[in-house]
Structure 1
Amino acid sequence: MRIHQLPVEVGRTATVGSFSGEQAPVLTVADGDEVVTGTLGLWAGRVRREHTLADILALRGQYAGGGPHTLTGPIAVDGARVGDALRVEIIRVRPGAHGYNLATPAGVSRGVLADRFPAGFLRHFDIDADRQVATSGALTIRTRPFPGFIAVAPQAPGPHGSVEPGPFGGNLDIAEMVAGTAIWLPVLREGGLLYVGDGHAAQGNGELNGTAIECDLDVLHLRVSLARSAWLRMPRVTTADEITTVGLGPTLEAAVQRATGDMADWLTTLGMTAEDAYVLCSVAGRMSVSQVVNRVVGVHLSVSRGELPGQGAQWR
């Protein structure tokens, strides 16, 4: 096992707004290697404490045509083949000292209460990574930093905008993807081609006004390993205590159905009957809304390992 250091530099190891399977790897690692890197905030990390909403809207306009996310990668995994899965374990996350929450004006906002705040607004946060708090005026928020974007290269030719998630992962915005979590991504291109970005110091489920506490991630320490012939249809998330499926769709109902279907299928591979799996999803599953602001609705369904046959030992 080797630990790689990957500096973040836009134009060399990071891109803004899009990702693809045609981009050359910025780093190649072996199965089980670790990568210590970071991410820049939205729009190449150019938002500063002194910026106003007007400043940020002008900055946003300079990156029209793609997403706002600054993506570190791609990182190739030697020997990763289509049909395998990348297991990306998040070992350590440390946010930068400055963050912000942005509600864009109603004409461009996807926030759920955009009509109540037609002019939009901006809140800057001071982040104390050691104390694990972020403050803005009267607000003091407990930080739980995580990368909102983790993806492999999509199967279809690119480039692909960074906003909409898909089977490849991407802008999932699952707030539980903190240190100690592993996300499993279906390999859709040789080498996998892993991208990470969209640093958040904290985010509520749903990301309801359109953004989290957006920030740089000064440290993002990952371990990347291969699961052969996993043939995943969608990303999965695991911790020491839970297994989680991801559902994406044009509506909440479609996303819920997909997350539930994937969990029911997963539970049957662990030894449950189809009926028992469906019952367990209903009586012990924990369904959460990941995000509703990325054009594609995201949910995730979690089941405690204590409810699983053999506690799902092969999915650690």
Structure 2
Amino acid sequence: MTLALAQTSAGKVPAPPSYRHLPANADTVRWGCFSTTLTPRVEIDSAGIVTIETLTHPAADDLERMVQGDEGAESVYLWTTDRKGVDRRGAGSTDPAVCKVGSGDGRGVHILTGPVHGRGAKPGDVLELRILDCVPRPGANPDFAGKSFGSNAAAWWGYHYNDMPGGSKREVITIYRVDATGDKSRAKAVCNFRWGPQTDPFRVTRPTIDYPGGPVDHALTDFTFNVLKGIRIPIRPYFGTLGVAPAEADFVDSVPPSHTGGNVDKWPIGKGAIMYSPVSVEGALVSVGDPHASQGDSELCGTAIECSLAGTFQSILHKKADLAGTPLQEMDRPMLETRVEWVVQGFSGPNHLGALGATAQADIYGKPSVDDAMRDAFAKTRRFLTTTKGLTEDDAHSPMSVGVDFGITPVADRNWGAHAIVPCHREEGHLLGPRLIGARPPPFPNDGPARGGACGGSACRKDAPGTWPIYSAARAMRRPSLSPMPGLLCPRTDRRGPARPTAAPSPKPGAGRSGRSPAVAAPGMPRIRRKAPVRAPRAS
């Protein structure tokens, strides 16, 4: 991005910006699909800020730890013999005579909160989503106060599944504990168990994990505790699925990523990062989900540490008419920016919805290819360098070979991905020299000059003069915030680690039950009031 474009963005930001809060409950989420047919749950102006709560889709692996006591999560995971809290789970048919495994056919598994309507967004525009905050959702069960939990499934769709030692195929679930108070910055395995045939409340027996949200009956499983001894996983929370609605179909499977973003599953999509997405439909219709506590680049076994999160986002709209002469003028794919790098993402099917026709959503599952993903990442990176640096194609090949890191992200989504990491440090001599965006414009809340060195110093805990207070996701949920964690992207330094939000004023009273409150607007430093469950004192 050019400095002129950054200054244009800064000029669009009111002071203070509008703020909304979108809780996660059965009224604000849908399961397994993007859709152009849904009524937006909240609307925001360009430069508006919204806190969005997200729920992890495999929380039924351990309802006691990940759902119990949380009214919002309970409303989504409700499944009795006669109804489900969220009936449709996937982009498939809801006709009982047609669907094979359940309503929506499990063609898409992620719980997505939204959509969020961006006022003024039209096809051809580019939406810039800045991730201002990203924190785990603490459990509401008083038996596990102050803790969050996540699930990792080594499942049948994982890359490893056909290469099991001894040829014995199996699915193994590992439950991790993620501290949500800020005392620690790592996840620890609690236990694991092998998936056995499970019968859901509709009396359908499932030999494998083929439909999301079915409660696991642990009377049929054998828990193994004290697993992964001595291993601690650094947490780096991020959103695996973040994107705008595609225009090609009314309901689009959430699993394969596409040209509008979606299930990109790239771990830097966390605090301090910026995602750019081309707008395909009026209002953009942003959805967020598939929250992760941590994940490696490949997501090799099929999932990450799937853990509910909340994020605070600022949305900047770049109109098509303003894009001429900027690196965004040809933005037809998702692009990620961090403080130190640009991430160019390639896929086996860059736009499978447009290229494969009416059967695209089924056909893409048969076309995973690392070769095709790498070829797409290479082509997009070359185009990125020729557009942003004015290089010829011949000139671009050398710096791509000697200065760009290519990798695999991920191999769990059937539309396999490869990415290119293009450095953008400020110092001369790096691949792109000074940052393409120039100095970070003022609209990034609390983006003051570093006054304490590395993350965790005063620059990461206090408001810089003349800047806004941080809009904290933890504050919006009335839950404890996290202290700096290694592996996240700090919006104020070139070091890694998030900022600690400042203290918040007392919230104004609001109506509604916890987890079921409608999205509301509020002035200044707002927070929606949510009735907290009764909890036991936090264990030391």
Partner of 2:39: 24
Which of 311, 328, 337 is the matching residue for 1:220?
Answer: 311
Q: How big is each residue's C-alpha offset from its partner over 1:182-226, in whole Å with a ceiling of 9 and x where there is no partner?
A: 111110011111011001000011100000001111x21111111
The one-letter code of the counterpart of 1:185 is: S
Matches within 5 A, 1:227-306: 227-229=318-320, 230-249=329-348, 250-274=368-392, 275-305=394-424, 306=430
**Percent of aligned pairs sharing the same letter:** 30
Q: Give yes or no for the alignment of 1:164 onto 2:286.
A: no
Backbone CA RMSD of aligned residues? 2.0
1: CA distance, partners of 2:127 / 2:439: 12
Which residue among 205, 226, 247 is the counterpart of 2:297?
205
Higher normalized strand content (fraction of residues): 1
Q: 1:314 to 1:188 in 2, by over 3 A?
A: farther
1:312 aligns with 2:431: no
DSSP-derived class of the 2:399 partner: helix
What is the rounded CA distance, in whole Å, between the counterparts of 1:72 and 1:314 in structure 2? 33
How far apart, CA to CA, are the structure 2 residues paired with 1:290 and 1:75? Answer: 26
Runs of 4+ in 1 over 4 A off after TM superposition: 59-63
State the partner residue of 2:234: 142
Return the letter of the residue paired with 1:48: D
Q: Which moved more, 1:91-100 or 1:144-153?
A: 91-100
Q: Return the offset for 1:50.
A: 5.3
Give matches, 1:78-89, under 5 Å: 78-89=119-130
Q: Distance in 2 between matches of 1:216 and 1:273?
A: 43
Residue 62 of structure 2 corresponds to 48
Task: Please tell me the residue identity of whatever aligns with 1:162.
Answer: S
Q: Distance in 2 between matches of 1:87 and 1:314?
A: 16
* Offset, 1:231: 4.0
Deviation for aligned residue 1:62 = 5.4
Q: CA deviation digits over 1:25-54, x for unaligned, max 9?
A: 1111000111112101115x4442559xxx
Which stretches in structure 1 are left out of the alignment for 5+ residues?
52-58
What is the distance in 2 between the residues matched to 1:233 and 1:174?
A: 18
Q: Which has the larger radius of gyration?
A: 2
CA distances 1:276-313 after superposition (whole Å, capped 9, x unpaired)? 22221111001121111111111111111132265312
Letter in 2 for 1:101: N
For structure 2, list consecutive stretches of 5 or more residues without a partner in the other structure: 1-16, 66-83, 90-100, 138-147, 190-226, 321-328, 349-367, 425-429, 441-540
Q: Deviations over 1:250-290 (max 9, x none)?
A: 41111111112112112122233222222211110011211
Partners of 1:231 and 1:25 lie apart in 2 by 28
SS at match of 2:345: strand
Equivalent residue for 2:23?
Answer: 7
Is the counterpart of residue 94 in structure 1 residue 94 in structure 2?
no
Counterparts of 2:431 and 2:403, CA distance in 1: 8
Between the aligned partners of 2:439 and 2:125, the Cα distance in structure 1 is 14
TM-score (structure 2 length as normaliser): 0.53
Q: Quote how far apart the aligned CAs of 1:314 are.
A: 6.7
Aligned-partner Cα distance in 1 for 2:419–2:319? 24
Q: How many residues align?
A: 302
Equivalent residue letter for 2:20: H
Aligned to 2:472: none
